[in-house]
Chain A
Amino acid sequence: MSDTFHLDGVEVKFEHGQTVLQAALAAGKYIPHLCYHPEFKPHGSCKLCTVKIGSRTAASCTMPAETGLEIESGIEELNALRRTLVQMLFAEGNHFCPSCEKSGNCMLQALGYDLEVHTAGFRHQYPDRPLDASHPDILLDFNRCILCELCVRASGEVDGKNVFALSGRGATKHLIVNAASGQLKDTDIALGDKAMQVCPVGVILKKRIGFSIPIGERRYDQRPISAQALDDAPRKPAGAKP
């Protein structure tokens, strides 16, 4: 069964069970997003994928697609809000792109470029959380965490290990690892885990990789995030048989 809604005036087909974001991406229409990952249950926390449906706003990653919806996304009003959200994420953490090995492969940075975030906008909070370098092959830089919970979901849902969790509330919320010592070396994380592959920023890093990918060959050197997100989008609804 297939039906349609309108996104920025263009008809988008969807299938039952798809969210607005899934249907839009499958149809080749980009809506900026950060905490959404096609392989995981939508989370709705970063709010970058917020769209307007009439006078309401909704996170398109959790909003079920419905027939006849009139949805706005690529309008300056929403993009200005998205820029502010990105600025707040940058201000909350230590996102020093010049010396960050994730630069060029970082979704937050790529979104900043794509949304044309040219200024800081907010006073930086400069968190001072110690690195966890205890594991022989994996490094955690907690100062870059944007609390998207992708690693939490990957470790729990795919790896079945529950290595990561968020602790605390509000402004003190932070990423922790599941070990009595609080150190990554005492967890059962492994390099091949899904949790190692999903961090959109530079928190979970394989050690000794650093800057081995030359400038020009990094993911977002090739094409902007708005184009690459469409490549990653499944063309079938989540859960459907191929």
Chain B
Amino acid sequence: MIDTTNTKSLETAAHPENLRRVAIEPVSRVEGHGKVTLLLDESNRVQQVRLHIVEFRGFEKFIQGRPYWEAPVMVQRLCGICPVSHHIAASKAMDMIVGATLTPTAEKVRRLMHYGQMLQSHALHFFHLCSPDSLFGFDSDVAKRNIVGVVAAYPDIAKQGVLLRKYGQEVIRVTAGKRVHGTGSIPGGVNKNVSLEERDYLLKDIDQMVEWSKAAVGIARQLFEQNLDLYNNFGTFKAHTLNLVRADGAMDLYHGGLRARDMDGKTLFDHYDYSHYWDEIFEDVKNWSYMKFPFLRRLGPDDGWYRVGPLSRVTQCDFIPTPLANQARKAFMAFNGGSATGATLGFHWARMIEMLHAAELIRELLHDPDLQGNELVNIGQRQERGVGVIEAPRGTLIHHYKVDEHDQITRCNLIVSTTHNNQAMNEAIRVVALQYFDGREITEGLLNHIEVAIRAFDPCLSCATHALGKMPLEVEVLDAAGERLSSLSRSSDGTFSALA
């Protein structure tokens, strides 16, 4: 395993002048738009590697002044892949604003929606976005390395991926009103229950979904078994972790306290009340990315970065409270002396364990009569501040709002799963660069290795850019020949300076 301290120098080259720049733009088969830049010397040795997110959103700004009950519907437009995550995180924050204690029906309908989301998003990632790499090889023929190629070569696997995703979308439609961008979750509860007819419709296929999810865990395991050395070491580095856990230490994707552990497994904090997350988590900005760099305050901006998402959740929870997924977790943790638990490609295996967990939870919930309850909303004493945290498919998602006495939002901060993983993704690609690039001729297949490392995190780049107001910018004026005539830089503290 490569010591991560070796990668620190790769964030910024000591002497960037005269280095050759190679850009991967856009990074493909991820959500949103990003690019990777590499600076190489004349011997093709890597001197600098950066993942840049080049989109900009701005939701925190334009939601100011809007009524609070609009937020759960508006913010989900951040994304079309896991809008339910934002819908529910914002709703949880607004639950605090309206002083709500959810009724059993409201919480269970929301949970069902969230598990449908987890199922469809994980299926999309594993089957549509990643399987071309894992089934054909990282540097296989680029013309076939896509979902169409998978359909041609592995029609059964492709079909299962499509139908698993479809089922998750149907769970969302039943609970939220639409497959994408529904309105089911509202401050203090939900706007509909699940009718018996809707329940029976979903029950019809759930056993098949559990079976296919189980088989998908098997595929993920097989990939490790077939190429142990590659899967254990590819882009692998040690990282601190962050995730929600239930009061008894179980995995809980909807609610819990925050658990942070350092890279050696030592607990930094546990069952931490997220309603004042800012005492433990802070955000740094860098002048080369629109995405912020969150860190654990107690460890500081340089060493406090961490990893969120399926790999952290599966390895750091004490157990998974559904039998098949828990069994799968035990096998994952024990595999080859635990080697997969720290591997970057272990994300895929962990993701499939979570997909199985989501399918089991959906089956369990569908048999719960509370879903047909009629007590949908429960409102209490109004509060000024609301924080909502959930475990979204890609990791911990934080929504934080302040609302004034006229019901208007005055402040909003979103720390999105992919943002938490910003530094971790940069580490992963720097490790891959060290492992594969140094001195070699650059080919498409070699560049895809970088993308494979990014894809392991299932990043959603469109969700992740929230450096509003602190956004560092550089403006360059070039002449017709591309030579720089003048330039101006704005740093993260807002000061301007002319670049040399």
Residues of A participating in the B interface, judged by any CB pair closer than 8 Å: 98-99, 101, 130-131, 133-134, 139, 207-216
Is B407 in the interface zone, CB < 8 Å from A? yes
Inter-subunit contact B184/A214 (CB<8 Å): yes
- Please name the residue on chain A nearest to B377 by beta carbon: A212
- CB of B407 within 8 A of CB of A139, answer yes
B189: min CB distance to chain A, Å: 9
B77 at the A interface (CB under 8 A): yes
Q: By DSSP majority rule, is chain A's interface helix, strand, loop, or mixed?
A: loop
The listed residue (A99, A130, A214) touching B74 by CB distance below 8 A is: A99
Cβ–Cβ contact B177 & A98, under 8 A: no
Check if A133 sits within 8 Å of B407, measured CB to CB: yes
**Could you write out 26 A-B pairs with CB less than 8 Å apart?**
A98-B73, A98-B77, A101-B70, A101-B73, A130-B65, A131-B408, A133-B67, A134-B406, A139-B67, A207-B67, A208-B69, A208-B187, A210-B69, A210-B70, A210-B73, A210-B186, A210-B187, A211-B72, A211-B183, A211-B186, A212-B191, A213-B191, A214-B183, A214-B184, A214-B192, A215-B177
B178 at the interface (CB under 8 A from A): yes
In the assembled complex, the Cα of A214 lies from the Cα of B192 at a distance in Å of 6
For B94, the closest partner residue in chain A by CB is: A210
* Contact pick for A208, options B74, B178, B407, B408, CB 8 Å: B407
Residues of B that sit less than 8 Å from A by CB: 65-67, 69-70, 72-74, 77, 176-178, 181-184, 186-187, 191-192, 377, 406-408
Sorted from nearest, which 7 A-B pairs have the closest CB atoms?
Answer: A215-B177, A210-B69, A99-B74, A133-B406, A214-B192, A211-B183, A214-B191
Q: Which residues of A contact B183 (CB under 8 A)?
A: 211, 214-215
Partner of A215, one of B66, B67, B178: B178
Residues of A within 8 A of B72 (CB): 211
Closest to A104 in B: B183
Interfacial chain B residues near A208, Cβ < 8 Å:
69, 187, 407
Q: Which of A98, A101, A207, A213 touches B407 (beta carbons < 8 Å)?
A: A207
Given contacts A130-B65, A131-B66, A215-B178, 7 further A-B contacts (CB under 8 A): A99-B73, A131-B65, A133-B406, A210-B70, A210-B187, A211-B186, A215-B182
**Looking across the interface, which residue of chain A has its beta carbon closest to that of B176?**
A215
Please, which residues of chain A bring their CB within 8 A of the CB of B184? 214
Q: Closest Cβ of chain A: how far from B145's Cβ, in Å?
A: 35
Interface centre among A98, A101, A209, A212 (most CB of B within 10 A): A212
Closest beta carbon of chain B to A173's beta carbon, Å = 23
Residues of B within 8 A of A212 (CB): 186, 191, 377
B176 to chain A, nearest CB (A): 8
Q: How many angstroms from the CA of A101 to the CA of B74 in the assembled complex? A: 10
Interface centre among A131, A207, A210 (most CB of B within 10 A): A210
Contacts of B73 in A (CB 8 A): 98-99, 101, 210-211
In the complex, A208→B201 CA distance in Å? 33
- Given A99-B74, A133-B406, A134-B406, check contact A211 B69 (CB 8 Å): yes
